A and B are shown apart, each in its own frame.
Chain A
Amino acid sequence: MFKVLVCDDDSGLRLSVKNTLAATGKYQVDEAFDGLDALEKVKANQYGMVILDVDMPRMNGLEALKAIKEHDPSMIVLILTAYATIENAVKAVRDGAYHYVQKPVKSEELIEMTDKAIKAHSLISDIAASAPMLMQSGRKIIGNTAQMQKVFNIINRLSKVDTPVLIRGASGTGKELVARAIHHNSSFKDGKFVAINCSAIPENLFESELFGHEKGAFTGADGRKIGKFQYAEGGTLFLDEMGDMPALMQVKLLRVLQEKAFTPIGSNREIESNVRVIAATNRPLEDMIKKGTFREDLYYRLNVMPIFLPALKERKGDLPRLINLFIKKFNGTQGKSITGIRPEALGVLEKYDWPGNIRELENIIEHAFILEESPMLGLSSLPEPLLMAAGIDLDKLDTVSSATPEMNQEMASLNGPIATPGAAPASTETASGAQEEMVTIGGDQLDFNKHKEAFEKEFIIKALTTFKGRINQTALHANIPKKTLLRKIEKYGINAKDYADA
């Protein structure tokens, strides 16, 4: 149970916040009546989160926030106040408050906010497994350890600035997870987290993808397109596989990072951009600079605060701890109670090279979880290739693992029928709707398109007449999309104004 401390000098408010959170069943909520009381309780107990009022006797919320953060920087603090000022809000966030909310707050909102805060926080403990290292001007300042407190310090450090971040690490080391953790704990947390894989975008579409384009900017641009930079406005743009970005785009990206503005293709307007960029790569950028495939200036711009994620094979000593972490996680999600891993299985895992890093480890543990029937993960539940790589004789083991593909097939077949019923009623509904209006088919030529057009024109004129030529009202009442209506009006040469006085 997550422990939350609610601090307010008003007992009624305390009670309602406590009740709201306790009703979810996820939180154990304690109360404090002012800042000093809260501080004492925080020091005496293990709380994950504190909800603070601002106006309180003895010690107000902002002072309490500072004191609590001093005691435990990883504490989540929500400020809840009736008298919200921008100055106070800025101050509170600067002092490390996760959020600053104005009373009265709806219970759903409070729960949502609390969940979000805790999720952001748990992201940090998740990435602790990746053992991130923060480098500054070539010096390792934090890292090479999975200790939660130190990882928190990294994230905390990054959350206070909006400089770009460069995450280096092999595939599967959890780069995106680190990016997400930074995003959800930074001042950009209210914005979107938008991830792009640079190696997955065709070179000629790259610019349009990032900056958008105006209608008719190039052949095939038949509408305006919003780029990812605009889409991520106020949030974080995660550029994965940064090393695969084409050289031309590197120049343009550098410009956005420096000028904080970009211009969509074919547009004259420069659009200001307030986006935190996090780039990730596993390619040796330094070598690429020498070869001229990666721009040096961009590298320096991104490399202000690089984070290194070590490969799993370099830290095999962490394996038992990582395995336990995943066992705990899957116990929670799969409803099993596995207590640990047998030494022979661990021995196999330690011999393995882990080209897929933590992601691979997690998959293997999950795989083992499904197969394992005893309370300890054993050799038999490990996948074959792993055992083969470790030189284990497959025949000596029960081949339970072969069940896996069958199970997957079963799952797939189960999913199949469920999808269809949803679509069926919808189609019958439209059919019955169409039957209501009977169209008389006159003339001797039975041309479908001709009749359809005649009907459309007649219908639109009738609708326009009814709604006095008002496009919006016509679109709304007659259930035609406004765009379609306008297109048809143009097509049939109808002048909407003619029906204004009818």
Chain B
Amino acid sequence: MYASTVMAKGAGLLLKRSIFFPFKPWLINALRIAFAVSVAGVLCQIKLHYLEALTYDFRMAYKPVAETSGQVETIAIDAKTLKELQKDPDGDSHQKLIAELRKSKPRAVVYVFDPTSIKGELEEVQAFTDEAAKLDAFYYGANLLPKQGHESLLKLDPPFETIPVFPAPKTSDLNIFAKDGVTRRFIFSFDGFPTLHPLLARTYNGLQHEEDYNGLFEFIGTKQAYIHFRPTGTYKAHSFVDVMEGKVKTKQFHDKIVMVGKDTLETTKDYLRTPFSRNIVAMTNLEMHANILDTLILNQSPLLSPKWQDFLLTALISILTVFVVLTLRPTKGILILGATVSGFSLFCYLLFAVFDIWVEMTHPLLSIFICYYFFIPYRLIIENRRSWEYYQKNKLLTQVEELKSNFLRMMSHDLKTPLARIQGMADIVLRDKVRLNQDQQKAVYTIADSTEELSEFIGSILSLGRIESKEIKLNLKSKDVNDLLQKVIDKSQYLANRKNIDIITEFEPLFSVKADEDLLKQVFTNLVENAIKYSPDESKILVTTEEVDGKMVVQVADQGRGISEADLDNVFEKFYRTKDVVNSDVGGSGLGLFLAKYFVELHHGDIEVESQPGQGSTFTVSLPMDV
């Protein structure tokens, strides 16, 4: 009853398990991949410019500073200028500056602030514009982007009408992309017309076509690219007043593009935020233009990796995360994911720093977090369920273990008690004063013998049980093997006498070895009793001991029926009985030799048999002297 309930519980547990995991492994994997890919797909649809800009700025800020082209010089109307002139530079000052610049023959001079803001008498201003006109190239880079039909905006009012105006707009991510007001891009061309920067750059690098330039992308009718920023101060501006007064060597500006702008801190319009700094006056417009020019001259605009690459990376990382979360142990998983995050970041950084390739980082990194936090609760549920299952299984095993020991208890108590009773009663009958007739006496003897056989069998089964539950431990004590053997033989003498078998012993004196007395006794008992059992009446059994090559050798030889060659290999097998023995009337469990071998091997010894049918068998046990 008890057993059957336990079994039923076990079956129920197995059933539940199969419901819980109805899928084949490949299907489960496919589902995981599908989930990861769809997470990646959805994620890539979401624009995360702000976050991406953070990683971009980081990469930009920490990449090694590249050499400049050296073709761009800047002149700033700075605090020093205002201090020395005691005013804003007027037409006269500008005229002097241009005159000074002309001496060095620059390739082009570009004003990046509105020249119409130059104050002064008309003549002075006129003198400035005249002076400017004498230059090979003098431009005003205007911060505007006139649509077609609005070209008139590019004409200045007199007396500045002689100054050619080119669009050189400043862009900031105010309402689009990252929306953080940082300047990252510049406009390369609009409606097919290039802005001032490509026109100037072209004179250096000779790249005529848009396709020749790196990193251009379309944006609402314009072609744009990202500025390869260098940290503020890379383009050291000359002070306006220094140049004007000829304090700067004119050679400095020879065949270069000279840009003139403001750095007076009067208005934030003259400044911008850069990837290096969100400070509202992080960099002057002047230096930004220098950066843009150098970006173009050196063709260094960062190249944004295409969308499909972004998706591919995101998908791969999602798959990895899903598998890590669902299959690995938590600590190992965290380690792997941590390594993935840092490895991927490093990879992106290196690509940017070395090759100016901009791989989007936000989507892949975010996908790790999403997949991780999506599956952690799921994993927790599974783990919880599994530990519950283990708990149940453990409970079941404990019950089985209990059942087993109860069974062994039953075997030994409930079987042995009636056996003892039968044996006792048989003894009483045999001892009785009323003599039995010969047949009755024989019957009672048979009862007594059978009970003994049965109790030995129970003993063997119990030993087997103990072997299988690995309960047997050697209890080693110094023992004289001859002494053990003699005790065994004395005990078996009764059996031998009944068959008139002569047990001859030839013991060589042996020093004690460490052995488990009970186990070795059982081994020798099995061998000697087997010899008696399978020997004909009036035969002899020879038991010898000797020391050979540091080993103790015990041999039991009989003149019995012997063992056929086919059976020789199997006699030590559990429950094995040879064919002719099974067909004979000699009883046995088929456990004796198995136990003997097991016990001998526990002592690191060997047991062997040598036999020929009809001529008897010799069993040899050899034990090492030091177990």
Contacts from A to B (Cβ < 8 Å)? 10, 12-13, 15-17, 19-20, 23, 55, 82-84, 102-107, 212, 223-226, 230-231, 233-234, 264, 267, 269, 271-274, 467-468, 470, 472-473, 475-477, 479, 481-483
Contacts and interface: CB of A to CB of B under 8 A. Distances in A.
5 residue pairs, one from A and one from B, having the closest CB atoms: A16-B424, A104-B420, A272-B478, A472-B557, A12-B421
Given A16-B427, A226-B511, A473-B616, A82 B559 contact: no
- Interface SS of B by simple majority: mixed
B612 A13 contact: no
7 contacts: A20-B424, A104-B416, A106-B423, A226-B511, A269-B625, A472-B618, A473-B557
B581 to A, nearest CB: 20
Of residues A15, A82, A107, which shows the largest number of chain B Cβ atoms within 10 Å of its Cβ?
Answer: A82
Contacts of B480: 226, 230-231, 233
B508 A104 contact: no
A225 B509 CA distance: 6
Nearest to A215: B509
B542 A472 contact: yes
Given A104-B423, A212-B511, 18 more contacts: A13-B424, A16-B427, A19-B431, A82-B420, A83-B413, A102-B416, A104-B419, A223-B509, A226-B509, A226-B510, A233-B483, A233-B512, A274-B477, A470-B618, A472-B618, A476-B557, A477-B540, A479-B540
A16 B618 contact: no
A12 B480 CA distance: 40
Contacts, number: 129
Contact of A13 (B420, B455, B478): B420
Contact of A82 (B412, B514, B612): B412
Contacts of B557: 472-473, 475-476
A497 to B, nearest CB: 13
B417 interface: yes
Contacts of B610: 470
Interface in B398-432: 409, 412-413, 416-417, 419-421, 423-425, 427-428, 431
B81 to A, nearest CB: 104
A275 to B, nearest CB: 9
A223 B511 CA distance: 12
Contact of A103 (B417, B510, B514, B555): B417
Interface residues on B, range: 35 or more
A190 to B, nearest CB: 10
Contact of A83 (B412, B559, B626): B412
B328 interface: no
A231 B541 CA distance: 25
B451 interface: yes
Contacts of B379: none
B615 interface: yes
B171 to A, nearest CB: 90
A78 to B, nearest CB: 14
Given A23-B431, A467-B615, A82 B542 contact: no
B47 to A, nearest CB: 76
Interface string B447-462: 0000110010000000
Contacts of B511: 212, 224, 226, 230, 264, 267, 269, 271
Contacts of B416: 82-83, 102-104
A224 B425 contact: no
Contacts of B509: 212, 223-226
A16 B422 CA distance: 9
B510 A224 contact: yes
Contacts of B425: 12, 15-16
B455 A104 contact: yes
Contact of B542 (A13, A55, A230, A475): A475
A468 B480 CA distance: 33
Nearest to A261: B478
Contacts of A473: 557, 559, 615-616, 618
Contacts of B510: 224, 226
Interface in B471-485: 477-480, 483
A10 B544 contact: no
A472 B544 contact: yes
A212 B541 CA distance: 29
A399 to B, nearest CB: 51
B351 interface: no
B565 interface: no
B462 to A, nearest CB: 10
Given A82-B417, A472-B555, A483-B506, A15 B424 contact: yes
Given A224-B510, A264-B511, A468-B612, A13 B413 contact: no
Interface in B537-569: 540-542, 544, 547, 555, 557-559
Contacts of B13: none
Contacts of A272: 477-478, 512, 514
B381 interface: no
Given A224-B510, A472-B557, A274 B428 contact: no
Contacts of B540: 476-477, 479
A468 B618 CA distance: 13
A473 B615 CA distance: 8
B397 interface: no
A468 B615 CA distance: 10
Nearest to B455: A104
Of residues B419, B452, B478, which shows the largest number of chain A Cβ atoms within 10 Å of its Cβ?
Answer: B478
B504 interface: yes
B455 A20 contact: no
Contact of A15 (B428, B431, B478): B428
Contact of B544 (A267, A467, A479, A482): A482
A297 to B, nearest CB: 24
Nearest to B425: A16
Contacts of A105: 420
A15 B612 CA distance: 49
Nearest to A264: B511
A468 B562 CA distance: 14
Contacts of B508: 224
Given A23-B431, A267-B511, A274 B478 contact: yes
B479 A233 contact: yes
B514 A10 contact: no
A83 B409 contact: yes
A430 to B, nearest CB: 16
A337 to B, nearest CB: 30
A16 B478 contact: no
A223 B546 CA distance: 12
A259 B509 CA distance: 24
B531 to A, nearest CB: 11
Interface in B22-71: none
Contact of A16 (B412, B423, B452): B423
Contacts of B483: 233
Nearest to B625: A269
Contact of A476 (B412, B423, B431, B542): B542
Contacts of B419: 104
A55 B413 contact: yes
B618 to A, nearest CB: 5
A467 B542 CA distance: 15
Nearest to B540: A476
A103 B510 CA distance: 34
A239 B431 CA distance: 44
A20 B427 contact: yes
Contacts of A224: 508-511, 547
